Structure 1
Amino acid sequence: MNPHPPELARLAERYPMISALPESAQLRLLRGARWARVPAGSLLFDDHQACEGFPFVVEGSVRVVKCAPNGRELPLYRVSAGETCIISSSCLLGHEDYNARGIAEADTVLLLLPKHDFDELLAEPAFRSFVFHLFAERIADLMQLIEEVAFHRLDQRLAAQLLGKGHTLHVTHQQLADELGSVREFVSRLLKGFAAQGLVKLSREQIEILDPAGLRKMASEGRQD
């Protein structure tokens, strides 16, 4: 469906950069963009799939992962409301297909800007600055991820993953494994070790943090390696 001015105002609330565009550019966006509402768990794009446009996330969030042939996933980043996807931008700029998978984490509302409109809007300084600023942020995030995977042990990364989410985490071992780019068996084994050390208490789809200082020490020691 084509958006109307109220929808444009809704988009600008999430992406203030829209308000800085000239009226002609805003009208171009209005004419070409397509709104979509997708339920949680929907596959939005996949490896080797052509990129159809530049996504604005108005509600919800999208998890972007790299998939191995054996089915394992390495989480790359999340795209929350007000952000956009660096891989989509890269594919549009380089005229390449997707090289990762995007999955809606929650019920998500998207505005998809077709490629030809994306190309035209890059001539606008506000839009171009927005796109390349996000590139810089995402590349920094991905460099940190590479450092975590390459130099930190899984137990240290798991300890860090458990912190900062409250006293009780309602999460499965598989979900934690997906977040860490590992497999459930390894994560379960480490969690049992944490429980034996008195760091956590395990129950069905729930982890109670007993010793956050101990977890923090384990995680921080890993970051000093």
Structure 2
Amino acid sequence: MTTAPAGDALIALYPILATLTARTRQRLEARAQFLELPAGTTVFDERQACRGFPFVISGSIRVVKAAPNGRELPLYRVTPGETCIISSACLLGQAPYNARGVTEADTTLLVVPNEDFQALLGEQAFRDFVFQLFSERIADLMQLIEEVAFRKLDQRLAALLLGKGQRLHTTHQQLADELGSVREIVSRLLKGLAEQGLVALSREQIEILDPAGLRRLAGG
């Protein structure tokens, strides 16, 4: 909203903002911060104070929960048109972040300061929008908890491979990050899948040879 193109893009992605009163829109235009962040930038981290509410215009933010041993569990991604419920929760509860957000690609954000976010919540349409997305994100997180708690890692790996096309250009470490595991375990599981004829492995590439077999494995 600091420039017209950014404002037009923001309204296109978040139509709810077009319903705000003229006074509220003017306040956002004057106070919101426009940020362009390169891939790999830490947008927020655990125990940091939340300084504002991000609207994603381009790129994406990967939100993870980190363990003391360095392992990470991916929670969700924030892409254009979506919101970060952890940021919302921190602002609503006036609490620090309990997760980490990192840009996956070059990312453009508009960050609304805390006090202005509180003012936005005073408008019924925006408040309904935030809580609707809260509901959707919580449903996604409940599904993640179910997968982590009740599905074996090989099942989750098979499901992950099926969602990325016939030929994947990725590393074992990247897959481990997606699964919240470690590279050595994922490498061992991939070797087992290759021995079963389900996939073919090469440097930073995995080819799906037997999608039906992977689907059977993913389904348990």
In the superposition, the TM-score normalised over structure 1's length comes to 0.96
Q: Deviations over 1:170-207 (max 9, x none)?
A: 01000000100011111000000000000000000000
Q: Which residue of 1 aligns with 2:108?
A: 109
Structure 1: runs of 5 or more not aligned: none
Q: What is the aligned partner in structure 2 of residue 78 from structure 1?
A: 77
Q: Which residue of 1 aligns with 2:10?
A: 11
2:178 counterpart residue number: 179
CA separation in 2, counterparts of 1:105 and 1:154?
24
Partner of 2:219, secondary structure, is helix
Aligned-partner Cα distance in 1 for 2:216–2:70: 32
Partner of 2:208: 209
Which segments of structure 1 move beyond 3 Å, counting only runs of 4 or more?
A: none
The 1-side partners of 2:31 and 2:133 are apart by 22
Deviation at residue 84 of structure 1 after TM alignment: 1.1
Aligned runs of 1:19-168 on 2, under 5 Å?
19-168=18-167
What is the identity, as a one-letter code, of the residue corresponding to 2:116? D
**Which residue identity does 1:180 align to in structure 2?**
L
- Worse-matched range after superposition: 4-13 or 109-118: 4-13
Q: Is the partner of 1:66 in helix, strand or coil?
A: strand
Distance in 1 (CA, whole Å) between partners of 2:131 and 2:103 is 24
What is residue 194 of structure 2 aligned with on the other side?
Answer: 195
192-201 vs 5-14, which moves further: 5-14
**How does the TM-score come out when normalised to structure 2?**
0.98
Q: How far, CA to CA, are the matches of 2:9 and 2:167 in structure 1?
A: 35
- Name structure 2 gaps, 5 residues minimum: none
User: Secondary structure at 1:109's aligned position in 2?
Assistant: strand
Count of paired positions: 220
